[in-house]
Amino acid sequence: MNVAQLADQLRRDNHFMKDVTRWEVIPARPAKTAPFPDSLDPRLIPVLAQRGIHSLYTHQAKSLEATARGEDVTVVTPTASGKTMCYNLPVLSAILQNEDARALYLFPTKALSADQVSELYDMIEGMGVDIKTYTYDGDTPAAARKAVRQAGHIVVTNPDMLHSGILPHHTKWVKLFENLRYIVIDEIHTYRGVFGSNLANVLRRLMRLCDFYGSHPQFILCSATIANPQELAETLIGRPVTLVDENGAPMGERHFVFYNPPVVNRQLGIREGAVPITRAISGMLLKNGIQSITFARSRLTVEVLTRYLKDMVRDPLGNAGRVRGYRGGYLPGERREIEKGLRNGQVDAVVSTNALELGIDIGALDACVMCGYPGTIASAWQQAGRAGRRKGTSIVFFIASSAAIDQYIVNHPDYLLTKSPENALLNPDNLYILLSHFKCAAFELPFADGDRFGNTASTQELLDYLDDQGILHHVDGRYHWSAEDFPASEISLRSAAAENFIIIDITDAAHHRVVGEMDRFTAPMLLHENAIYMHEGRQFQVEKLDFDACKAFIRSVDVGYYTDADLNINLSLLDIEKEEQTAQGGTAGLGEIKVTALVTMFKKIKFDTHETLGFGHVQLPETDMHTTAMWWTLPDKLAEKIPSDRLKNGMMSIANLLRIVCPLYLMCAPQDIAVVYQVKSPITDKPTIILYDNTPGGIGLSHKAFGMKELLLGKALQVAEDCPCTYGCPSCVGPVGEIGEDGKRTAIRLLKELTK
Amino acid sequence: MNLRDKLRAVGGDNADRTGQAERGTGDCRHFAVYRPEEEFPGARELTRETLSLMSEKEMPADFDPRRILYLDTETTGLGGSGTVAFLVGLGFLTDNGFEVHQFLMRDYPEEPYLLKHVAAGLGRFDVLCTFNGTTFDVPLLESRFLMNRMDRSCLELPHLDLLHMCRRLWKLRLGRCNLGRLEEVILGKPREDDIPGSEVPQRYFTYLKTGRMDLLEDVLKHNAQDIASLCVLLNHMADLYLHPEKIRFSEDVYSMGRALERVDQTERARKCYRLARGGRMGDLAGSALAVSYRRSGQREEAAEVWREMIREGRGGTLPYVELAKYEEHIRRDIPAALKLTEQAIARISEPGLGQGDAVQAEQNELQYRWQRLKRKLKEQ
C-alpha cells in the first residue's frame, strides 16, 4: 500500500478517526524555477547539470541575485529545498574567480559540518579545481591545523571554535581574515537565547578583526521557518539583511494528522500513552513498506521504540537492519551509515531524537511520526519536513502525550498549522554576555578612543569600567589588555554565567570523568548533596558539591526515587523600565529585578506513586541573579472582592497556565522563563504575577512578553476554558491537590476580568 | 541603577590604581649586560660541522658563532593576540665576551620602538637561538609585528630551538626539560633568588599601575640569565657531541646515539651505542646498534651484536628472534633458526617475565614462528 492508499483507508476507519482531532491536507505545490543568474561562474554549470540541475528554484535565484548585489542575505527555507546552493554557489563562484578569496562556514554542530563538507567536496571534485575545504574544530589534528590556517579556502567550523580557537589567535589566520569574502551561517534559528546572544557578540568580534585586516565580508544566512527570521538575522549580525522567504521547491501533497490517544480513565483524566500508539502507527507504516522516520523526545524512548520495530522485522538470523535507531551518543561512522541507508532506501524505518532535526541529509521520506511535541513549532515543522517528497504524497502523524503542551497542540491544531507565532529572541546587549565578549574583543585588538563594539551604545562605559578594574590599561588614546587571563576560556557560548559547575562522575575511582556542566543558578537545585541526578537515563547521587570550586561529584546509584529541591525565591526590584495602567485598572510593568534563590531542603519522591519518602536538609549559600522581568498586577477592585485564600489559589492557577502558554509564544524552552505569583508583592505592593528571564541579564523574553501581555493572558484563559476537566488537572491549571477546588474557577474569573 | 553600578554588580569590583608607569619619549628603555668570556667555554670555537651533528637545520656556509643571536622574551601571558612581549633580550658573543641587550617597553605605546630594535637586531645576525622559540617566542613576536603592522620577515632566520635539542639528549633521564632544571642538573649551576616565570606577568602589570621600576629588576636579571644560559647550554651540548665518552649517564649516551641517527651520523651513533652497552641502557643500546647495522646491510655485524647480547643474557627474547630471522633468511640454516626459536620460547616461559597481554602475544608469535619453521624443515 502506498501513502495515498493508506491515508484513504485510515480516513474510512472510524475507530482510528474518533481520536483524530484534525486531518489537514496540504495541497501539492509545483516548482517555481528561474534561470542561472549571470553571477554564477560558468564552470559550475556543467557540475550542476551532472546532478540534473538545469535551473534554480526561485528562492535560490533570488538569494544569489541579492548576494551578487552585495547584500547580506537571509534565506528561509524548509528542509530539503536546496538551501545549500544559496551559499555554495556564490562562495565557489567567488573562489573560482579569485583564488585568494576565503569563506567561513559556521554550523551549530559538528555532524552538520561533516555533511556540508562532503557535499562541497563532491562539487569541487566534479569541477576538478583546487579549492581547499577544511573543517576546523576540536577534532582537527594539531598537525593539520597549520594547513587549514594557511591554505583553507573554505574553513568550516562552529561558533565555539571560532570564539576560542580562531579569534583570540587571529594573527595566525592572516590569510583568512585579509581575504574573507563570505561568512555563511546555517541553521540560524538555533541561535536564540543565550547561544544566540553569545554568537552575536562573537560576530561583533569577528567583524572588528575583519576591519583591522581590511576585509569586508558579506553574510549568507539560512534559517528554518520562524516568525522573525529577518529580525533574528539582523540582531545576530548587527546590520540589515535582505530576506528571501518564498520557497520555490516543489512539494507533493501532504497529510498532517493530529492524534490524541483516547482517555482511559475519565475521573483522573488519564490517556493512553503516546509510545504504544506511536509503536502501532510506525509499525503499520513499516508493514506497508512506507519509509518513515519516528521522532521521540528522549533517548530512552528512541531505544524502546527501535526495539519494538526491530522485533517486527527480524529475519530468522535475528537481523533487523531495516530498522535503525539514531541519537546522540552513536558513533559518527554509524550515523553516516544510517544516513546513507535512508538515502538509498536500505533503511525503512528510523527512530530518532531531535538529532536528525537539523539539516543532516537523509533525503526525503514518505512518512513522519512525532511521538510528542518537540517543544517549538520550528522543531515540529523541521521534523515534519523530513517526510515530503518533491513528488507523491506524504503523511505526518502527531501523537500527543499527556503533557500540557501536547494537549494544547492537539486540541488547537491551528496553532501549529497557521503562520508561526514563534519568535527567536536574543539579546546581544545582555550585560553578562556583553561584558565577557567585550573582554575577549579587547584582548584580540586594543580599543581606541571613540571605537564602538558592534552597535553597543555603552562601549565607552565598558572601557572605563575595565580600565578602572585594571583589566585594560588606557594610554595614548588606546586601551591595552593588561591582565594575564585568556578571557575566551572563561565563557561557554551555550550558557550565560561565567562560572559553570562541572559535573564529575567518580563511580570509577581510577577514571574520574566530566559528564556535564550546569550553570550556577541551577546547580543548587539539582546538584545539592544527596540529590539524584539523571544523566543519559542513568541515576547518579551527588556525593559532594564544592560550591567554591564549582564542582559536583556524582556516583552511579540505582534507587527507586528522585529528589526535588525546595527553592525559596525572593525578588527585589532594581529598576523599572516601563509601567502602564491597563484598561481594567491593574498595571503591567517591565524592569530589572534581583532574584535571590536559596535551597534549604529536598524531598525524596518515589517513582510511579510519587509519594514522599523523606526529606533532607541542604546547606548552600544564596545565589543572586540580576535579570529582566515583567509583571501584571490585579486591579484593587477585583482583588478586594476575593477572599485571600481563594485569591492565592487563583493566582497559582494563572501562574501554572502561563508556564504552559508563555514558552509557546515566546519560543523558548520552559526552563528559560520563570513565572511566580505574589499575593502581596514587594515589587508592586499588590497581588502580582511575575514572569522573568531565567538567565542572568535576561535574553529579551520579558520584553517580548510585555509586548504580548494581553495575548498571553488571553491564551491562558483559552487553555483553562478549553480543558475538559472541572476543577483542574496537570494539563491546565494544575492538579486540584495543589490549587484547591476553587483554583480553576477563580483563575478563569480573574483572567476574564483581566482580558475584558 | 546606572550602567557603572550594574557592571560592578555583574563583573565585580577591584578598582585599584596608585601610580603611573614611567614614560619616555620616542624610544623604549635599553639595558646592556656584559659577561666575561670565561663563562662561555668553547663558545668561540663552535663550528658548522659540530652544529650539523646537533641539528638538521641548514647553517650558513660562512657560519660564525659570533653571528648567532640568542633571544628570549618576557611576556604578559601565555599566548593569543592579547599577549605582549614587554621585554625582549638579545644576546651574542663578541671578541671579548658576551653581551646582552634588553629592550623594555615602559608602557604599551613603546611597543613599536621595542619591535624596531628587535628587527634591527635580528637583521644583523645569521642564526637565531631560543629555548622553545618555535612554539612560543617567534609566533608571539610575529603576532606583535603584525598587530603593529610591521614587517615580520626579520624572524625568518635559521632557528636553533634548544628545547627540542635538549629533549633529544635528556628527556629519557630527566623527563621534563625546562631551562631551570637543565641549568641545575646539566650545567650544575642552580639559580638563586630567581623569580618564577609564572610571576612575571603580574610584576609587569603592577609596575604599569604603580610605576615602580624596582619591581622589574628581578625580571631583567632573570631574562639576562636565561639568555646567557642559552649560549652556555648550546656549547655544553656541542662539547658532548664531540666527546660522547665524557657523558656519565648511560641514558644520555644512548639518547645521543638516537639523536645522531636522526641526522644520519651513523658511525658516531654506533659509537654512542657501544659506549652505552655496558650500562643500564645496555638492552636498548645493543638492539639499536644491531638494527643500525642491519639497516646499512651489515648483516653479519648485526648478527654478531645479537650473539653478544645472548652471551651476556641481555635483551630478553629479541636477540634470539632476530638471530633466528638471520639464520632463516640470510644463512638459510633452518635447524639453527628452529633452535634459536626454541631457546626464545624457553626464555619467555621463565618465571619472572610476568604475564599480561604483551607476553601472551609474544608467546603466540613465537609458537607460530616455531610451527612455520618446523613445516619448512619438513618440506626441505
CATH of the domain at B74: 3.30.420.10
List Cβ neighbours of A620 (8 Å cut-off, separation of 6 or more): A524, A528, A545, A547, A598, A599
Number of structural domains chain A divides into: 4
* DSSP secondary structure code for residue A506 in this structure: -
Q: Give the separation between CA B129 and CA B70, rounded to whole angstroms.
A: 5
Q: A480, A594, A695: best mutation site toward chain B, by most B Cβ within 10 Å?
A: A480
A535 in any annotated domain: no
**How many CA atoms, within 13 angstroms, populate the side-chain half-sphere of residue B97?**
7
Task: Tell me which chain A residue has its CA closest to the CA of residue B76.
Answer: A484
Q: CB of B22 within 8 Å of any CB in chain A?
A: no
Q: CB of A146 within 8 Å of any CB in chain B?
A: no
**Do residue B201 and residue B347 come from a single domain?**
no
As for the ipTM of the complex, it is: 0.86
How long is chain B? 380
Determine whether the interchain pair B10/A574 forms a contact, defined as Cβ–Cβ distance below 8 Å: no
Report the CATH number at residue B259.
1.25.40
A699: which 3 cell numbers? 535574553
Residues 64-103 of B with CB under 8 A from A: 76-82, 84
Q: CB of A462 within 8 Å of any CB in chain B?
A: yes
Distance of CA B225 to the CA centre of its chain: 18
pLDDT higher than 70, residue B226: yes
Which 3 state secondary structure label does DSSP give A285?
helix
Q: CB of A170 within 8 Å of any CB in chain B?
A: yes
H helix count then E strand count, chain B: 15, 6
Tell the residue number behind the cell numbers 580562531, with chain if given.
A166
**Smallest Cα–Cα separation from B202: which of A401, A547, A482, A348?**
A482
In Å, how far is B97's CA from the nearest CA of chain A?
A: 36
A412: which 3 cell numbers? 488547537
User: For B65-115, how does the pLDDT look when each residue is reduced to its tens digit (9 = 90+)?
Assistant: 999 999 999 999 988 999 999 999 999 999 989 999 999 999 999 999 999
pTM: predicted TM-score of the whole model, two decimal places: 0.82
Asked which of B183, B210, B242 is the last residue of a domain, the reply is B242
Among the partner residues A443, A446, A470, nearest to B209 by beta-carbon distance: A470
pLDDT higher than 90, residue B325: yes
A605 in any annotated domain: no
Determine whether the interchain pair A171/B147 forms a contact, defined as Cβ–Cβ distance below 8 Å: yes
Which 3 state secondary structure label does DSSP give A42?
coil
**Do residue A281 and residue A401 come from a single domain?**
yes
In this prediction, residue A108 carries a pLDDT of: 85
Q: Are A355 and A326 in contact (CB under 8 A)?
A: yes
A515 in any annotated domain: no
Average pLDDT over residues B242-252: 92
Asked which of A365, A382, A417 is the last residue of a domain, the reply is A417
A507 in any annotated domain: no
**Do residue A648 and residue A663 come from a single domain?**
yes
A523 in any annotated domain: no
B6 in any annotated domain: no
**Do residue B68 and residue B172 come from a single domain?**
yes
B336 in any annotated domain: yes
Cβ atoms within 10 Å of A456's Cβ, excluding its own: 18
**Do residue A263 and residue A383 come from a single domain?**
yes
Q: Give the separation between CA A418 and CA A264, rounded to whole angstroms.
A: 31
Residues 127-146 of B with CB under 8 A from A: 139, 142-143, 146
**Do residue B328 and residue B280 come from a single domain?**
no
In Å, how far is A168's CA from the nearest CA of chain B?
A: 5
Residues 523-582 of A with CB under 8 A from B: 574-575
User: For B295-312, how does the pLDDT look when each residue is reduced to its tens digit (9 = 90+)?
Assistant: 999 999 999 999 999 998
Residue A410's H or E segment, with its range, is helix A404-411
User: For B265-299, how does the pLDDT look when each residue is reduced to its tens digit (9 = 90+)?
Assistant: 999 999 999 999 888 888 999 999 999 999 999 99
* DSSP secondary structure code for residue A19 in this structure: T
A319: which 3 cell numbers? 537481523
**Do residue A203 and residue A85 come from a single domain?**
yes
A498 in any annotated domain: no
B266: which 3 cell numbers? 651513523
Q: CB of B1 within 8 Å of any CB in chain A?
A: yes
Exposure string (b/e) for A667-701, b if CB count within 10 Å is 16 or more? bbebebbbbbbbeebebbebbbbbbbbbbbbbbbb
Among the partner residues A171, A481, A574, nearest to B146 by beta-carbon distance: A171
Using a CB-CB cut-off of 8 Å, the residues of chain A touching B209 are 470
Q: A613 to each of A245, A558, A619, B261, how far by Cα in Å?
A: 55, 16, 20, 72
Determine whether the interchain pair B15/A469 forms a contact, defined as Cβ–Cβ distance below 8 Å: yes
**Do residue A7 and residue A41 come from a single domain?**
no
**Smallest Cα–Cα separation from A463: which of A434, A491, A487?**
A434
Using a CB-CB cut-off of 8 Å, the residues of chain A touching B199 are none
Which residue segment(s) compose the domain that B220 sits in?
A: 29-242
Using a CB-CB cut-off of 8 Å, the residues of chain A touching B81 are 168-171, 443-445
**Do residue A448 and residue A346 come from a single domain?**
no
Q: CB of B14 within 8 Å of any CB in chain A?
A: yes
**Do residue B238 and residue B249 come from a single domain?**
no
pLDDT higher than 70, residue B353: no
Task: Tell me which chain A residue has its CA closest to the CA of residue B106.
Answer: A475
A526: which 3 cell numbers? 539539582
In this prediction, residue A634 carries a pLDDT of: 93
B283 in any annotated domain: yes
**Do residue A646 and residue A710 come from a single domain?**
yes
Among the partner residues A461, A481, A484, nearest to B3 by beta-carbon distance: A461
**Do residue B230 and residue B344 come from a single domain?**
no
**Do residue B221 and residue B335 come from a single domain?**
no
Strand partners, A11: none
Residues 469-488 of A with CB under 8 A from B: 469-470, 473, 475-476, 478, 480-488
Q: Give the separation between CA A246 and CA A720, rounded to whole angstroms.
A: 37
CA dihedral A70, A91, A155, A383 (to 10 degrees): 100
Exposure string (b/e) for B278-303, b if CB count within 10 Å is 16 or more? eeebbbbbbbbbbebbbeeeeeeebb
In Å, how far is A135's CA from the nearest CA of chain B?
A: 21
How many contacts, defined by CB atoms under 8 Å, are there between A and B? 98
In Å, how far is A622's CA from the nearest CA of chain B?
A: 15
Using a CB-CB cut-off of 8 Å, the residues of chain B touching A171 are 81, 142-143, 146-147
Asked which of B201, B221, B242 is the last residue of a domain, the reply is B242
Number of structural domains chain B divides into: 3
List Cβ neighbours of B264 (8 Å cut-off, separation of 6 or more): none
Asked which of A244, A262, A294 is the last residue of a domain, the reply is A244
A508 in any annotated domain: no
**Do residue B124 and residue B198 come from a single domain?**
yes
In this prediction, residue A496 carries a pLDDT of: 54
User: For A161-181, how does the pLDDT look when each residue is reduced to its tens digit (9 = 90+)?
Assistant: 999 999 999 999 999 999 999
pLDDT higher than 80, residue B9: no
Q: Are A573 and A593 in contact (CB under 8 A)?
A: yes
Determine whether the interchain pair B1/A445 forms a contact, defined as Cβ–Cβ distance below 8 Å: no
Q: Give the separation between CA B324 and CA B318, rounded to whole angstroms.
A: 10
Using a CB-CB cut-off of 8 Å, the residues of chain A touching B14 are 469-470
Report the CATH number at residue A268.
3.40.50.300
**Do residue A368 and residue A267 come from a single domain?**
yes
Q: Give the separation between CA A296 and CA A397, rounded to whole angstroms.
A: 12
Q: Give the separation between CA A557 and CA A34, rounded to whole angstroms.
A: 61
**Do residue B219 and residue B128 come from a single domain?**
yes
**Do residue B121 and residue B256 come from a single domain?**
no
Which residue segment(s) compose the domain that A636 sits in?
A: 568-596+622-754
A506 in any annotated domain: no
**Do residue A484 and residue A389 come from a single domain?**
no
Determine whether the interchain pair A469/B13 forms a contact, defined as Cβ–Cβ distance below 8 Å: yes
**Do residue A189 and residue A266 come from a single domain?**
no
**Do residue B107 and residue B207 come from a single domain?**
yes
Asked which of B279, B309, B339 is the last residue of a domain, the reply is B309
Among the partner residues B1, B3, B14, nearest to A469 by beta-carbon distance: B14
**Do residue A271 and residue A185 come from a single domain?**
no
Determine whether the interchain pair A484/B10 forms a contact, defined as Cβ–Cβ distance below 8 Å: no
Determine whether the interchain pair B77/A172 forms a contact, defined as Cβ–Cβ distance below 8 Å: no
In this prediction, residue A710 carries a pLDDT of: 92
B4 in any annotated domain: no
**Do residue B334 and residue B186 come from a single domain?**
no
Task: Tell me which chain A residue has its CA closest to the CA of residue B152.
Answer: A171
Helix axes A229-237, A193-213, angle to 10 degrees: 50
Using a CB-CB cut-off of 8 Å, the residues of chain B touching A696 are 10
Q: What is the mean pLDDT of each run of 10 residues along chain A (756 residues)?
A: 92 95 93 93 94 92 96 86 89 96 90 73 91 87 87 93 95 96 93 88 97 97 87 95 92 93 71 89 93 86 85 81 78 78 89 76 86 83 83 92 82 79 78 91 96 90 92 94 88 66 85 76 84 72 88 88 84 89 89 89 76 86 87 91 92 93 80 89 92 86 92 93 82 81 93 91
In Å, how far is A172's CA from the nearest CA of chain B?
A: 7
B8 in any annotated domain: no
**Mean pLDDT in chain B?**
91
Which 3 state secondary structure label does DSSP give A665?
helix
B16 in any annotated domain: no
A332-337's contacts with Cβ under 8 Å and 24+ in sequence apart are A332/A111, A332/A114, A335/A111, A336/A114
Using a CB-CB cut-off of 8 Å, the residues of chain A touching B76 are 481-482, 484
Asked which of A417, A449, A465 is the last residue of a domain, the reply is A417
**Do residue B303 and residue B349 come from a single domain?**
no
Among the partner residues B7, B142, B208, nearest to A482 by beta-carbon distance: B208
| Pair type for strands B29-36 and B97-104 | antiparallel
Sign of the dihedral defined by the CA atoms of residues A430, A436, A440, A446, in that order: positive
Task: Tell me which chain B residue has its CA closest to the CA of residue A469.
Answer: B15
Exposure string (b/e) for A291-318, b if CB count within 10 Å is 16 or more? bbbbbbbebebbebbbebbbeebeeeee
Using a CB-CB cut-off of 8 Å, the residues of chain A touching B15 are 468-470
Q: Give the separation between CA A178 and CA B238, rounded to whole angstroms.
A: 44
**Do residue A101 and residue A15 come from a single domain?**
no
Cβ atoms within 10 Å of B325's Cβ, excluding its own: 17
Q: What one-character-per-residue DSSP string does A172-241 give? A: GGHHHHHTEEEEEE--GGG--HHHHHHHHHHHHHHHHHHHHHT--PEEEEEE-S-S-HHHHHHHHHSS--
